[in-house]
Amino acid sequence: MHMFTQQEIDELSALHFINQIDAHLRVVSKIRIAADTGDHPPRVILLLELLYDKSRVDKLSFDLHNHSYADIIEVARNVGDNEYLMCEIDNLLSGHGE
The structural domains of the chain, with segments of one domain joined by +, span: 6-96
- C-alpha Rg value of the chain to the nearest Å: 14
Q: Within a 10 A sphere around the Cβ of 28, how many other Cβ atoms? A: 17
- Summarised one tens digit per residue, pLDDT across range 3-29 is 788 899 899 999 999 999 999 999 999
pLDDT in tens, 56-76: 999 999 999 889 999 999 999
Whole-prediction pTM: 0.87
**Rounded to an integer, what distance in angstroms lies between the CA atom of residue 20 and that of residue 22?**
6
Closest among 96, 84, 23 to 58, alpha carbons compared? 96
